[in-house]
Structure 1
Amino acid sequence: MHQYVETQMEEFECILSMFPDDEELSYDAQLKDEYENYLSLEENTARHPETRLQYTIHFTVDGQIPALEIKYPRQYPMETVEFVVHCPSLSREAMKRMVTELMCTATGSDGEIIVLQLYQQMAEILEDCLVNAQATQQATEALDHLSITDEPKQVTLGRRAIYFHHIIASTKRRVVKEWALELDLGGFSKIGWPGVVIVEGDEDAAQEYVRRLQHLRWKQMVVRGEQTESGESIEAMRRLPRGFTEFPENGMSDAASLCREVGVEDLFLSVMKIYRSEEREPSDSNGTDSGKSSKKASKR
């Protein structure tokens, strides 16, 4: 019996050193003295304390104070340690899971001290339950803020029709295409004299695309047509094929046919300075393009 008490006290002293504050560990100091006195006497003359050694470890989790109450059987650790879990805030399902897992650990100790492992396991389960509870609360709050009457978030699709005096240099032809693909813009270019670029996609991306091209050296570059549409999805509003096509120098008619087929013919006509009677493009004092204006093309 003496060796069991010695092992129990060694484990208890270890627990006491880990949790020195009264808020962390509660126990009967007088009972502790009785066990220490028992160990100080010869085994054949010492009388085993009548009360079993017990203590309670307190946790602090999200403002709550769960507790693990420990009671040593006479022959612990050869006997399974007794424990009680206190955590009123836990759901019945979570409490059942915790007790089951702790019991599996306790009964599988194989004669080894096990209290510290029980404490660590309980702490992990409490943390897991807290994370799950917070996630559930956040999801509930998010749903509470949603209303079936709320309008879906609107996005804006933009199209640009850009005229160039010419697009010949291989480097410029390459970046015209690469930048469009990078910005997820669909459309095409027609190289040669004149050069034409028509793109569509997210309005911010379309603006960025024009800004990049304007930083290159061109003999003439003018945005002659713009269109914007608002809706729930950029993809649903696209008319031009995804990806980017480069038409050859003699591909103007093919480019025009594509625009006609997808319903952006007015945008193509604007880049060629062919307008409906109601949408004449203003000219500067010399009768030439200003090179800076962005013209809204009508949507039929």
Structure 2
Amino acid sequence: MQNNDHEGLELQLAEVEMLQSMYANPGEFVLDDPSSVEQIQAVLSGDFNIGNLQTRIGFTIKIFVENEDRNMSVELVCQLPHEYPFLKPQIFTRASQMCKKRHKQMRDDLSKELDEQAEGEICIGILVEWLRERLYTELQHIDSAVSESDESLQGKSLKQQEGRDTLTRLWIYSHHIYSKIKRKDIQDWGDELNLHGFSMPGKPGIICAEGATCDVDEFWYRIRRMNWKKICIKEQEVVAFPKDGLAGKSDSVFKFGPFFELVLDARGGKGREYHMDLGQFSTFLQEHDSGHMFNLFFGVSGKPAEDVD
């Protein structure tokens, strides 16, 4: 193990211990998988090989502020790469009490704050304090945000306000998807957001996510915050849900079943590289009324136009 690896994992454990003590009330600090801490402890003690480390530390911190008769909370969701703090953590927020526009602005500002943090130093505690201060500012906008929302949505239904009157189908191209951890995150987020579609690992990696527009937007926000060599949207389709919205949706509006990982016959390459059988993938797309996407991804030659490696 490199010295940086050892030092980084030690810093991660120290930060988790600190955060657990600071946010000790039930539900304030929740580990995604407690065994991830145990595995890293085993690596540091020499009982476990870092090359076999499949889990990473992930957790959610609930930040709550109040002032007079107003209160607000936000959840900060964190995933720590094994190289953290020498590599930036993956973070995003959930804020049900904040209007979409202000939440987006807060997320953008939080990303800038993260980018300003020094490499090699733990930063989650700093980000939590930044969010806490920001929430006190956001408390001032609760009433005005509700008022503006009511005016702009006059004559519209609640489902339209939440972005649930339309279905978005997003086609995403990645240079590759190999990491088991990244694959798990993609699947977990698809399940959490009740999406349909699939993720195909290998080189290239292909993701199709379909669901309520607001849920697909959230999925894409989380996906693009990951570390990628290259990732982009190839096509975005938006169609109307039936009049009953999500509650009465027909499966006919979806081209795919509930979100899953698509694993076909794999073809090996250099090192850990592999790609799925493109013939089978083409057939799969045709069976799901999406045959046109094969040419968009691979061209007539069947090879990714962007892939020059």
TM-score under structure 2 length normalisation = 0.41
